[in-house]
Each structure stands twice: as C-alpha cells, then as structure tokens.
Structure 1
Amino acid sequence: MALATLVGSEAAEALLRACPVEPAVYRRDGSELDERITLPFMGAYIDHGLTDPAFTAAVKDGKAVHPGRFSRDGRMRPGKLRELFESGHTVNLRYLQTRVPYVAELCREIEAETGYTLFVSGFVTPPGAQGLRHHWDQFLAVVTQLHGRKRWPIWRPEVEFPVDEYLSSPTTWTAEMQERWNSTEPYAVFDLNPGDTLVIPRGWVHSPHCLPDDPDPSLHLTFALRERVPLDLAEALVHTALERPEFRAGIAPSRLTPETLPATLTDVLAQTVRHLATTDPADVADAIRAALFSEPAGQGHRPGHGR
C-alpha cells in the first residue's frame, strides 16, 4: 500500500476509512521514501538548478524573495539558490512528482488508492531558520520528515473545511488573526525527527521552524492531498447531463440579462432536478469514478510557498 510508505500500514488503513479531523504523528520505519529522498539528493537539485523557477521559492521569516534572485529568462541561475539557503532561506521545490520518477510513481499509487489528486513539495530549511509563518492549507497535508528536526506548533482552524476557491489562507488571513496566533499558546506542538510523518487536516494553522540549537538542516516533503468533497461528486453527477441534447442547446443572450437571468436559472434548475431525479447512481458510478481517477496529479491546486 502506497499510503503505508508515508504513515505505516495501520494509519494508512485508518486514513482510507475516514478523513482525519485532528493532527497526528506516525512512524514509517524502514520506508523506501527515506532511502530515496535524502539531503544530498535534494541538495543536487538545489546546486545544479534541476528545478523549474515557476515552482521554486526561497522564503525567510515569512517573506519570499523575487524569483529574479535565483532565475533569469525562465532558467535557474547557477549557485543562487544555494546562496539564498546559506543566508537562511528555506528552499521550496514544488511539484516534485513531475521531476522525480520515484515520487511520480508513489503519487500515482496513492491516487489509485484514494481517488485524491495530489502534489508534492520539498522543503530544505537551514539550521535555526523558518520559512513561512502562520498559515493554513487548503489540502490534507502529509508531512514526511526525512533529515534533521523541525518543530510544528499547530492551532485550531480559523475556518471550516477551506478549499482553493473558498476560505483559502492567502485570501482570508488578517492582521488580527496573526496577532492572536502570536499571543496564544498552540493547541499542540510536534517535534518531527527523521521517520516521523505529521498528518495535518485542512484548515489547521501551523508555523513550523527549525530549533536554534539544532546543527543540521531540515528536509521534509509535504504530500498535499486534495480530499474529495460532496461538491466534487455533485459536479460529476450534473456533468452526466451532457449526454442529453437539452443540456447542450444554446441559451439566447436575451435570457442572460440582469432582468431575465433569474427566470432562466429557475428553468435550468428545474431541468437539472428532473435529470438528477431520473439518474440511477449505480448506472453512472463507474463513469464518475473513471473521470475522477483520470485527473492529472495536482489538479485544482495552487501550491503555496516554503514553510
């Protein structure tokens, strides 16, 4: 089981049965992930520019540098990312499943097991440093610590079940929230060591950082899993109407004006309800499942910057 590579067999079975509601740490002793993705391996990507500038970030104390500091004309500038790392910046290498074959294979297996799409980000943080500060994610974060140690203070959610299009951290964050997090004890604090995996449900606020007295840099991968929500299945059910000609017929511009649109929506709503009322879920389940599983990895995500 691919999920077991990240969290161990028992936790993987639990994650397949139910979506997690609280953060928790698991051990993945003997995982192939720890053998394949090492600090020297990730260092080679940093030193040799084996990344896409569009999916690379350097962040220090909550602030990301302009990509021009490490790239030019869509190409990485040799040595610049390493310089930023040496000056205390967390290096974030996003969409690793598009560049590292082993990670790509692991993601495909996880997608097959879960029906979720996902992307993977790698984070290399210098000793005693911090990338982003307080924020929450719009995905189920599975954080796999691979080298060094990192502390994860976590606060209860500010919003309920955020998604990319609604209640996302970048669009919802306020200075009042930040002040409250700065002055409030976290709900929990997790110190991750190599072999630990932290599962963070959507919306839980976190502000990870390396400890001042740790001599080693930290390396972790975040597997960002997009949980399926009822709206996903509702959209897929409505999409089955595509086979019916009446749903493909044109709507005249005169029915889309501010004055006529409410009546037009009423007609379409009634038409949709009739379609769904006559749709047997058993008849469309295979087609919907095939459509969900055929989505490319990372669909629907706007990956954030380094943590």
Structure 2
Amino acid sequence: MLLGCDGAAAVLKEWPERPYTLTLPDNSPIGRTITAQTIRGFLAAGCAPSDYVNVFHKGEGLHPARFTADDRVVPASVQLLLDQGCTIQLRELNRWHPPLSAICAGIQSETGCTGYVTAFITPGGTQGLDYHWDQYLGIVVQLEGSKTWELFEPVVASPYRDHAMSTSLWQDEWVKQWQESGPDQTVELTAGDVLVLPRGWVHNPHSRKSAGASVHLTFVLKERVPLWIAERLIGSAINDSRFRAVIPPSGLDPAKMPETIEGVRSLILDYLAGLDVDEMSGALRRTAQQETSHATL
C-alpha cells in the first residue's frame, strides 16, 4: 500500500539505512479513500480528540487551551491558527480512524514492528517543526501540496525509545553547522510521493516554497532491536520461582550489593542456558505481530 510490491520486498530483505523516495502505488487506498480532505474532516467536524492534536508555530508548541474545549478540538480555533501560519499535527490516527488502524495492523503483521500514523497540515510559505531526529523509521506520504525535506547524516548512533532523543541531546551549535554546510540530501515531496526516512537522520521539513497548504502522513515503524528480545527473555523468568524470591534489605546494603548482583547474574545465565529456543521463537514472533506497544515489557 505504501511502497509497492518491489519496494516492500526490498525493505523486508534489508532495512533502510539512508533516505530515499518512491511513488505511491496506483492501487493504494492512501491518496484515494484516505485523502487530505479526510484529515481536514476530523478537524472541521470537531471530533478530533484533544489529547491527539498538537499545534506548532515556528517550531514551538502552543498550549492546548488555544484550540480545545471539552476534550475536543474547536474547528473555528484550528482554522484561525492555520490562517496564522500554524502547523497542525494529528497524532496516532490509527487509534481513532479504523481504515488507518487496519493499515498499521497490516504493516505490523508483515514486518513484526508496531507503529502508528500521524498527519501534518502546514500552511504554504511556513514551517512547523524544525531540525530534529526521530527514534524510529518513518514512511512519509505526501497527500496534498508540497514539502521540502532537508536531510542530514545522523549525529548519534541508533536512537531508540527514550535513548538519544534529539530533545535530550540537543546542541544549538549543530544548527549553525548544518546551515553552513547545507543538507546532505534535499527532497521535494509533492502529492503521491513517498519518503523513507531511517531513524536518526536529522530533518528540517518546511513548506516555505509551497504556495498552498501541505498535508502529509507519516507512518512510524518501531524497529525491533536486540534489547527488545533480551527484555522478553528476561521477562519470561517470572515463571521461575527463583526470580520471585525476596531480596532482604540486607542484600541491598552497599557492602552487600555486589554479591547480590553477582547472584542474580548467575541466575540469569543459568535460566537463559535452559530456555527452549524453538518454543521462545514462536512466542516472540506472535508477540511481535500482536502487541499494541513495545514501550511495555
């Protein structure tokens, strides 16, 4: 639906490490049954849940009181903010729009990666979010208008979940360096274009060159990493009574703690050595395809 048969097969065979673009397949429901008007309709109808809508102006978020009432987004306020050059973000549409929920479920079944889809509306001649990087792979689908993506090589290795987030590691001098050197890639997306954006790549997206509004979807795929498997291998140890035994307060004493840690490490090694790998493989595959969030263990 997003990359076409050949594009999807390539991703499943070798996970992307550099950004590239494709054209949305002709038979994709994205862009036909799920359009820019679909996204605008959530706001115009006043049915968009306020917890899933953000508004940005020149890179800064606006307080929700500016555009919400009774846990819903106020249509008139949204239009006023768009007229003032604000970008509207509708987060995790798959939680409240069944067709997009089905597509995200299909992606998870195919790849084993959980994920979500977010929409952005950016007025022409403006910019919402500026320089940042994301923790996961993004597949950007342009629905309407155009958007420029200035892309820069990663400055941190393999960001994941809350580790190495751009908000926590940010250095202001990076922006000056990027502006002086220029982007490593510049991509102009128009309706029907798709950008595959690997995690960690810094991007500065804007619609400053666009006369009309830009509307796009970003499908986020939360990759599986060795830590994901390690967490579940250790998590399964709850079934072993040795891991449920109480550690007395004396075992947490600073002088005693190294011995306690060594004892638990030995337990882990013994437990893992006895695991049935074939049985665990089936269980983890089912978990990868069915869990709703891998932020929890």
Same fold (TM over 0.5): yes
Cα distance in 2 for residues equivalent to 1:293 and 1:167: 26
1:300 corresponds to which residue? 295
Q: 1:109-258 counterparts in 2 under 5 A?
A: 109-212=106-209, 214-258=210-254
Aligned to 1:136, what secondary structure does the other structure show?
coil
Cα distance in 2 for residues equivalent to 1:71 and 1:253: 49
Structure 1's unaligned 5+ residue stretches are: 302-307
Aligned to 1:79, what secondary structure does the other structure show?
helix
Match of 2:277 among 281, 284, 288: 281
Does residue 55 of structure 2 align to residue 58 of structure 1? yes
Q: CA-to-partner distance for each residue in 1:163-213, whole Å, 9 max, x for gaps?
A: 12210111111112222222221000011111111011110000011143x
Cα distance in 1 for residues equivalent to 2:144 and 2:127: 15
Cα distance in 2 for residues equivalent to 1:149 and 1:209: 9
1:304 corresponds to which residue? none
1:101 corresponds to which residue? 98
Aligned to 2:31, what secondary structure does the other structure show?
helix
Cα distance in 2 for residues equivalent to 1:91 and 1:299: 27
Cα distance in 2 for residues equivalent to 1:29 and 1:236: 37
1:305 corresponds to which residue? none
Cα pair 1:237 1:288 within 8 Å, conserved: no
Shift of 1:151: 0.7
Match of 2:33 among 22, 33, 36: 36
TM-score, structure 1 normalization:
0.92
RMSD, matched Cα: 1.5
Shift of 1:86: 1.2
Cα pair 2:139 2:219 within 8 Å, conserved: yes
Does residue 72 of structure 2 align to residue 75 of structure 1? yes
Shift of 1:73: 4.7
Give the residue type in structure 2 aligned to 1:241: A
Aligned to 1:36, what secondary structure does the other structure show?
coil
Cα distance in 2 for residues equivalent to 1:13 and 1:93: 29
Give the residue type in structure 1 aligned to 2:275: T
2:256 corresponds to which residue? 260
Cα distance in 2 for residues equivalent to 1:259 and 1:52: 52
Cα distance in 2 for residues equivalent to 1:254 and 1:49: 58
Deviates more, 1:240-249 or 1:61-70: 240-249
Residues 119 and 183 of structure 1, relative CA distance in 2, 3 Å threshold: same
Residues 145 and 261 of structure 1, relative CA distance in 2, 3 Å threshold: same
Q: Which runs of 4+ in 1 moved over 4 A?
A: none
2:89 corresponds to which residue? 92
Cα pair 1:134 1:181 within 8 Å, conserved: no
Cα pair 2:2 2:25 within 8 Å, conserved: no
Shift of 1:215: 2.5
Cα pair 2:154 2:201 within 8 Å, conserved: yes
Cα pair 1:118 1:299 within 8 Å, conserved: no
Give the residue type in structure 2 aligned to 1:63: E
Give the residue type in structure 1 aligned to 2:149: W
Cα pair 1:242 1:248 within 8 Å, conserved: yes
Shift of 1:283: 2.5
Cα distance in 2 for residues equivalent to 1:75 and 1:93: 12
Give the residue type in structure 2 aligned to 1:145: Q
Shift of 1:48: 2.1
Identity of aligned residues (%): 35
1:14 corresponds to which residue? 10
